[in-house]
Amino acid sequence: MNITVLVGDMKTGRTGDILVTHALGSCLGLMVFDPMAKVGGLLHAMLPLSSINPEKARGNPAMFVDTGVPLLFKSVYEMGGAKERLIVKAAGCGNPMGKNEIFKIGERNYTVLKKLLWKNNILLKAESVGGTASRTIHFEVDTGGVLLSCNGTKGPL
């Protein structure tokens, strides 16, 4: 089944599911996959830190990287995923052109992600981050295969 993950959302799936998310601009798309248990999850987080809007974060933790990433891992563990087997991939975190630091939400999303992963001893297996393109992800939970569409070209991540 195709399961669409909207902006500020997180979904998990099992064999037979394809987790899809569209239009990753500055947002972070994070994929977690356990090849043994054949379970996976996809997060589409919009903003780096939940402290910007704690009320929103309570109702919708997937909107923020600092609350969405733990939620993603926890959900995959609950489905039988084990930390030592997890394959983690990241996409998105784009930024507009120019040097305007204020608009680099993508960069801030990526920084918060890296800090979280580092603290928890988790490595990224693959990533396609930064730049100006809008990205779309198709994550096949059976194989863990990720198809990345970006600027009219498609390829595995």
Residues 6+ apart with CB under 8 A from 34: 40, 76, 80, 81, 82, 85, 86, 87
Considering beta carbons, is residue 51 or 120 the nearer one to other proteins? 51
Residues 6+ apart with CB under 8 A from 4: 11, 20, 21, 22
Q: At what angle do helices 105-119 and 65-78 cross, to 10 degrees?
A: 50
Q: Known catalytic residue: 150?
A: no
Among 38, 95, 113, 139, binds other proteins (CB under 8 A): 95
Identify which range of 12-20, 75-83, 110-118, 130-138 contacts other proteins by CB under 8 A.
Answer: 130-138
The secondary element (H helix, E strand) that includes residue 105 is helix 105-119
Considering beta carbons, is residue 40 or 92 the nearer one to other proteins? 92
Under rule CB under 8 A, which residues in 64-93 are in contact with other proteins?
Answer: none
- Tell me, rounded to whole angstroms, the distance of Cα 65 from its chain centroid: 9
56 binds other proteins (CB under 8 A): yes
Active-site hit among 27, 31, 43, 93: 27
40 binds other proteins (CB under 8 A): no
Identify which range of 78-86, 96-104, 121-129, 137-145 contacts other proteins by CB under 8 A.
Answer: 96-104
CB of 109 to other proteins, least distance (A): 10
Cα 20 to Cα 6: distance, rounded to the nearest angstrom: 9
Identify which range of 18-26, 31-39, 74-82, 115-123 contacts other proteins by CB under 8 A.
Answer: 18-26
Tokens representing 28 are 């972070």
Q: How many residues bind other proteins (CB under 8 A)?
A: 33
Considering beta carbons, is residue 52 or 82 the nearer one to other proteins? 52
- Tell me, rounded to whole angstroms, the distance of Cα 122 from its chain centroid: 14
155 binds other proteins (CB under 8 A): no
